[in-house]
Structure 1
């Protein structure tokens, strides 16, 4: 379940807290000088700007990595249920006031979150620690008798920023940083779903993955009625250090401009830039494998790539029978991301999780990223609490230890619907089932793929237009191919019956063309047959 929006007492569900916790570290605490504080705070100000943070990351990369400290205190015995009984007191929000544009709330240490992160408030070129005590939190039935009053906390697990998002008089939760380098955000009308990370190292390579963590955060003091806020973070791992800047602008789509400056202590096999993590359990393609009243269960249903020449690639997501991956080689793409295109409640029927409101997330490189590939990793799962989808950019050039590696990109979180007025029609739905004639016995191993295209110039063409379903396959053979218009829905349906080669993974690619031009996105699909 997502974190409910618009509630200052919102707690994280088990899935929200477990998302991506495969060895990750946790975020840390802070202090801020606000009206909420009554005790005097010593002057601990230090100079700070992004260049200082970059220089600090460069220096850290010349020394051996340090084991993150484990915080000690009453919270070390917290169980999952205990952790659910702790909530931040919204009356203690940092940056609060009649002219506030943002409120900052903290996540408590405990349960899976044992490694504190430090936090600072930045103003006039200096940084001041932000501190928290037990007075900043509510402790309910399960834990309230075990918590000392007025106890300073050695850190926090992470933080969230609230802002007027859906109503001018309500501060909704907009973004949360919690766990290793994971963070999530929402746009207007959406709820939490997929996550982003600061960096992926050696993901899905058959060896232990390295999970960098944001060990410290700096937040610029927002101006009155601010509409954007800047967050800085120090990233640390065994092989890497980093300086990050996030300029966050909530709205119908919440936009983050990210600058990542990285320094590597050692050579690594693979880095993943702008990594995204999501969940796909089932849809119309594989629903028969799940005895569930809901037609679809997923946070995202496809990977999108916007190519530099204006072409688009749509890759429906899978829950494969074994770990699988796709490498989509590109030269400086315009954008890539994980989308949730299906926005109809009737197609989910989940009145609790509301998967139709999960945000899409688009990554837009700023500057020339050069050659590389969008890598998609799909992990088999039987439960929706597991995030089993990972996508990120893998550059051709491996980073050189000691040298600065910088990437700038824009993250856009929101509904992000496909544009029906664009030239190219988009893939509205992908379905799959046993090949052959419906209602008949079909004994072979072939499979039917049904792809519906909507919008674009294609939508204006009559059903008797001279069009071609351009399709290719590796690892199998297309034995039936048809294309027809469903006038009542104003969509075009392509049907492919595919026979796999024995023991092969089947790779499919198709689009609709006519009148000397491409009329749709490129639909690509990987069928893991065993």
Structure 2
């Protein structure tokens, strides 16, 4: 969970400083003869593999690959002009979303096979060092000609001036992939699967997408989907995935992916995470020590949003805890969940890496999930380089050897959640400080929570002089001084309460605002421990 940000950040360095190749496109991207391909056949391969012993992926020349560190990997620049589907007149290539490949490196040492699918036929694309601009002293020059690739990305649709400047999706490392949102910025990632994350009896397993089959429609348009088929393999699991990715020229819509997958277990799994995503949360308007960093907030996502099977809307602000923790939110056939970046005010970050532009990611199940839980994993971090947040669906039934799972879901990489409730307000901010009355001595072990809710079309319905009720419960501790107040300059209301909690005690908080007995806001959940604060 925590080892992929450096790898993906290396990938972003490949976007600039491009040089034209000396060799023509087809000479550089050598391919095998075409062979029939179908998703059904890929599923059968995954099923057969689940009955056979696991074979780890090939890792060419580990001693050389380990020399290709973050800096040296960033020197390796793909010759964008040779990309497949660039549609450039002098190549005679099909017009589409140009396809580029990532080279091997310290943080991406496993060879991944790449295939292009055309008219139901697949052809493997082979590694060639001539595809990359390599400085003369770069250790990658010592790699063999069959070293292979580490992953791939797609550039924006070909236009005269900007197609080389921005990629919009990337697959690299284990089963990780990510896309940009409406503001053209990468942030959090999705994963094919999670196996035994944060269990006490052993390390997490990271299955790999070992083969990719990439298909674009001949004569397609920017709204035509790019279809990626992927073969998953790991010690405990195999799987076949079909991911239809839609970008379009209206970039304000972000990226939408429809995923179909068939997963097979070759071993028992203690925690099986389906439809997973992973992100980073260091600190927000809460959780920041005074001198920890110069910026007000640092995070790719600030909360877990859920739409339960019963229709309840839930918001759980993220934590950077003192130890790895997993929270489970039991449900049956949830309508969706996601990790969101709701705070989009640059002044709240003051950072040139644009955390205010990071996409939110929402998963919409397209087939019933049955009983289980959305699980939220939070890992301690003392820097922004680590992905320390995970969210995924865990089925209620035991995940045992021989089980198979049919998945069908949609991923939305956008600024906001795609199905917002229009009749309740959303959480805008969570603030935590010392409890007690201002102007009086502040009692030890008492904490004040101020949670802001915002949606003008909802909050303006509150009659003048009427104050909503703050409905709050705590699994531990004592709640007092509950009251609501309007925030000046807008239809924002703040729910306030104090919490008295013994030192070191953990509590789960649940709160919403109500008017005339009916919910006015989504349900705010939070997990808090007193020694995370400032005593």
TM-score (norm 2): 0.88
Q: Write the distance in 2 (CA, Å) between the matches of 1:417 and 1:289.
A: 32
Q: Deviations over 1:136-167 (max 9, x none)?
A: 001136518x7279x63421111001124999
- Between the aligned partners of 2:10 and 2:73, the Cα distance in structure 1 is 13
Structure 1 match to 2:175: 181
Pair 1:237-2:230 in alignment: no
- Equivalent residue, structure 2, for 1:25: none
Separation (CA, whole Å) in 1 of partners of 2:145 and 2:113: 14
Query: Equivalent residue for 1:494?
Result: 495
Q: Which residue of 2 aligns with 1:202?
A: 196
Once the two structures are superposed, what CA deviation does each residue of 1:265-297 show, in whole Å capped at 9, x if it has no partner?
Answer: 121112000111111111111223543221110
Using the TM superposition, give the Cα deviation of residue 491 of structure 1 relative to its aligned residue in structure 2, in angstroms. 0.8
Whether the 8 Å contact between 1:134 and 1:148 is mirrored in structure 2 is no
Find out whether 1:135 has 2:130 as its counterpart.
yes
Could you say what secondary structure the match of 2:27 adopts?
coil
For 1:266-277, list aligned pairs within 5 A. Answer: 266-277=267-278
Q: 1:256, CA displacement in angstroms? A: 0.5
Give secondary structure in 2 for the equivalent of 1:77: coil
SS of the residue aligned with 1:69? coil
* Equivalence for 1:383: 383
Give the 3-state SS of the residue equivalent to 2:373 in structure 1: strand
Q: Deviations over 1:187-235 (max 9, x none)?
A: 2313111111100011111121111110000011432243311000000
For 2:430, the equivalent position in structure 1 comes to: 430
Contact 1:475 1:506 in 2 (8 A): yes
CA contact (8 A) 1:280 1:389 kept: yes
Question: Counterpart of 1:354?
Answer: 354
Residue aligning to 1:464: 465
Q: Distance in 1 between matches of 2:440 and 2:148?
A: 64
1:102 aligned residue (90, 97, 100): 97
Q: Where does residue 121 of structure 1 map in the other structure?
A: 116
Task: Deviation per CA, 1:78-122: give whole Å up to 9, x if none.
Answer: 232211211111112112114622011111012222210001111
Q: Contact 2:32–2:125 at 8 Å: present in 1 too?
A: no
**Cα RMSD for the two superposed structures:** 2.6
Aligned residue for 1:81?
A: 71
Shift of 1:324: 2.0
Q: What is the CA-CA distance between 1:458 and the residue it aligns to?
A: 2.4
How far off is 1:393 after superposition? Answer: 0.6
Residues 389 and 438 of structure 1, relative CA distance in 2, 3 Å threshold: farther
CA spacing shift, 1:279–1:290, aligned 2, 3 Å: farther
Q: Deviations for 1:477-517, whole angstroms, at most 9, x for unmatched residues?
A: 10221111124222111111101145421111011111242
- CA deviation string 1:47-69 (max 9, x = no partner): 21110000000110110101222
- How many Å separate the matches in 1 of 2:476 and 2:159? 48
Using the TM superposition, give the Cα deviation of residue 434 of structure 1 relative to its aligned residue in structure 2, in angstroms.
1.3
| Segment of structure 1 superposing worse, 467-476 or 79-88 | 79-88
Tell me the distance in 1 between the aligned counterparts of 2:110 and 2:483: 57
User: Please, which of 246, 266, 271 is the counterpart of residue 249 of structure 1?
Assistant: 246
The count of aligned residue pairs is 502
**Is the 2:78–2:100 contact (alpha carbons within 8 Å) kept by the matching residues of 1?**
yes
Does the C-alpha gap of structure 1 residues 40 and 422 become closer, same or farther in structure 2, counting only changes over 3 Å? closer
* CA distance, structure 2, for counterparts of residue 177 and residue 88 of structure 1: 15
Matches within 5 A, 1:60-71: 60-71=49-60
Quick check: 1:304 aligned with 2:305? yes
**2:147 aligned residue:** 154
| Change in CA separation of 1:440 and 1:165 when aligned onto 2, cut-off 3 Å | farther
Q: Tell me: CA distance 1:166–1:472, structure 2 relative to 1, closer, same or farther (3 Å).
A: farther
Contact 1:95 1:222 (C-alpha < 8 Å) held by counterparts: no
Q: Distance in 1 between matches of 2:520 and 2:507?
A: 24
Cα separation, partners in 2 of 1:412 and 1:418, compared to 1, 3 Å: closer
Q: Report the equivalent of 2:286.
A: 285
- In the alignment, the residues of structure 2 paired with residue 401 and residue 463 of structure 1 have an alpha-carbon distance, to the nearest angstrom, of 61
Unaligned runs of 5+ in 1: 1-11, 20-33
CA contact (8 A) 2:31 2:125 kept: no
TM-score w.r.t. length of structure 1: 0.89
- Secondary structure of the corresponding residue to residue 287 of structure 1: coil
Whether 1:407 and 2:375 are equivalent positions in the alignment is no
* CA distance in structure 1 between the partners assigned to 2:334 and 2:207 by the alignment: 25
Q: What corresponds to 1:93 in structure 2? A: 83
Contact 1:282 1:290 in 2 (8 A): no
The equivalent of 2:218 in structure 1 is 223
- In structure 2, what is the equivalent of residue 111 of structure 1? 106
Residue in 1 that maps onto 2:38: 49
Measure how far apart 1:42 and its partner are: 6.8
Structure 2: runs of 5+ lacking an equivalent: 12-22, 89-93
Offset of residue 168 of structure 1 = 8.9
**Structure 2: distance between partners of 1:311 and 1:367:** 19
